[in-house]
Structure 1
């Protein structure tokens, strides 16, 4: 998730992020989780609709929101936002483990530690 957000941010504002080190971005990402853990968990739970969606609906949502489905839509392949950013900026390769091209092991471990610590007891599980 973090690596996708990092690349997307760089595409939206290339001039502003050109000299922004990824280490600083990891620190800011983890700081938000540390300061606003409850709000973050609530937003994720609301977004996921925990406990209020039938399993069949979940499968449908997963299929509709899959990388393959979203990246194949013409609007996401050909369109542009009003500010000129191409809509394909929302999509990367979509390969499992692609974060290794951007993050060092130590930064990945820091993100994992922070997420485990801050989401502990929420019922949300993060694994690769």
Structure 2
């Protein structure tokens, strides 16, 4: 659900010829219908999930919520996956913690290169956003809040209910679980 809110926030900040920002309601409908410039979200995620199960030595599947919960163990897992595990000495010296600090959302967001300027893209074609020749994305748009569960500040109860049903439907029998964090939500787990 955070993905939907981030998607909406990001695309709301696009500017360009032929582009009209979308409302949260419009973004919600597009998300639920699988209308996305990069393909339907659930097809994308479930495809990588299945591939990671079939070829665990080739694809490491991580979830943002898990990274936020315990970045250090996931950095170790990533290093092991890449074939360059941390040595005992590196762990004692705090290398893992230092990498976590350097790569943190706060640090990346505060880099001058990410605060100023725009990223310009262009391709003369029809997209789900309409006809776009070029558009600009302020670099700061790539960094929102990085708060797990922030969706609960934007989505209505009926939106949440619809998304929960959609998640169950799209990921049924996959074994993939989405952890939802808010005052009222629960984990959404598909049956394996």
Q: Give the TM-score normalised by the residue count of structure 2.
A: 0.49
Deviations 1:61-119 (A, max 9, x none): 9x587534542444323342135432111111222322223211211221122112101
The one of the two structures with greater contact order (alpha-carbon pairs below 8 A, sep at least 6) is 1
For 2:117 and 2:141, the matched residues in 1 are separated by 10
- Shift of the 10–44 alpha-carbon distance from structure 1 to 2, 3 Å rule, reads farther
- Shift of the 109–58 alpha-carbon distance from structure 1 to 2, 3 Å rule, reads farther
1:125 is aligned to: 177
2:147 is aligned to: 95
Higher fraction of helix: 1
Structure 1 runs of 4+ aligned residues shifted over 3 Å read 35-39, 43-47, 63-66
SS at match of 1:103: coil
Pick from 155, 161, 164 the counterpart of residue 112 of structure 1: 164
Q: Is the 8 A contact 2:10 2:142 kept in 1?
A: yes
Rg larger in structure:
2
Corresponding residue pairs, total: 122
Question: Which structure 1 segments of 5+ residues have no match?
Answer: none
- Shift of the 71–45 alpha-carbon distance from structure 1 to 2, 3 Å rule, reads farther
Q: Tell me if 1:67 matches 2:115.
A: no
The two structures, once aligned, show a CA RMSD in angstroms of 3.6
For 1:102 and 1:38, the matched residues in 2 are separated by 20
Higher fraction of strand: 2
Question: Which structure 2 segments of 5+ residues have no match?
Answer: 61-73, 83-99, 121-134, 181-192
Spell out the pairing of 1:33-44 with structure 2 (5 A cutoff).
39-40=43-44, 41-43=46-48
Deviation at 1:39, TM superposition (A): 4.1
- Shift of the 12–43 alpha-carbon distance from structure 1 to 2, 3 Å rule, reads farther
